[in-house]
Amino acid sequence: MISDWKIRQVVFGQVLDELTALFAARGFSFMPIKGAYLIMSGIAASIPQRRIRDIDLLLPPGRFDEICEWFETLKNVSPAENYWDFERSFIYKTGGADVYLELHRQINFPARFLLPAEDLFSRGVSVNTSVIFPDPADALLIHICHMLPHVVDGFSIQALEEIERYVSPDAFSWHLFWERAESTGVSGFIRLIIATCRRHTINSHTITLPAIRSPYAGILLHFDLFATIKNRMARKLLFELPFVRNPWWLLRYKTTRRIRHS
């Protein structure tokens, strides 16, 4: 039986091919991130199972509004409600399928972590006239930083094993990775995730890990609390808020949004 993951690779791959042509025809470009990057880079083929809900594309700085306005005019595209201010959501219809698509102005709020779109595009690797891949070190940073807002849900071993898929290319540099990790403002969380990956995956010899400087992260790692604590609120209090750059800003934003949409 063909898995949902394999079916989605085919469907999403077709959508990404169509988007590549559409963007190229208008002189626009995009950077596939997260699952979209795995599919377009070919890494997805080596992953046996994975959940993927949507397509995430990062847009060039300064062209977000222009591209979104054009994209919404396409006949097979309709806007969808989205929660975050740094992205716009759409439903893209193709071949009888409705695919949820998110166009990003940035990866996430600076209050969580710093991965400026300007830096990602300046270091990106051009694949063709419309597609720019994040460079290998940035691709892994995006993957791990994206785990921070989802830490409340917990992680499967698969999420950790994916880290090894990012470091396999010859172009990957651990030196660059850790240098850039420091500028994210959440290097403690990144070290914790990499250390957890080394503990729970097989090919840990491929992973370079500097010393864990945060006593708090060291405690979490020592007791393997990632694996033992399941309660969502406890995970938010223990694993998310202590690591984000500005927890009070995020709490205020979420509270304001909740009131606004109630």
pLDDT digits (tens, 9 = 90+) for 149-187: 888 887 667 778 788 888 876 788 999 999 999 999 999
**Given this model, what pLDDT does residue 260 score?**
52
Distance CA(184)–CA(245), nearest Å, equals: 9
What does the pLDDT look like over 1-59, one tens digit per residue?
Answer: 678 889 899 999 999 999 999 999 999 999 999 999 999 999 998 888 888 889 999 99
Across 198-227, average pLDDT: 77
Confidence of residue 93 (pLDDT cuts 50, 70, 90): very high
The pTM (predicted TM-score) of the whole model is 0.92
The torsion defined by the Cα of 122, 124, 204 and 174, in degrees rounded to 10, comes to -40
Tell me where in the chain the CATH 3.30.460.10 domain(s) lie. 1-109+117-134
Both tokens of 129, joined, read: 């006239």
18-37 in b/e burial notation, b at 16+ Cβ within 10 A?
A: ebbeebeeeebbbbbbbbbb
Q: Show Cβ contacts of residue 149 under 8 Å, excluding neighbours closer than 6 positions.
A: 108, 112, 240
What architecture is domain 1-109+117-134? 2-Layer Sandwich (3.30)
In DSSP notation, 89-156 reads EEEEEETTEEEEEEEESSSS-TTT----HHHHHHT-EE-SSSBEEPPHHHHHHHHHHHHTTTGGG---
What does the pLDDT look like over 56-92, one tens digit per residue?
Answer: 999 999 999 999 999 999 999 999 988 788 999 999 9
Looking only at the bridges linking them, the beta strands covering 125-126 and 132-133 are antiparallel
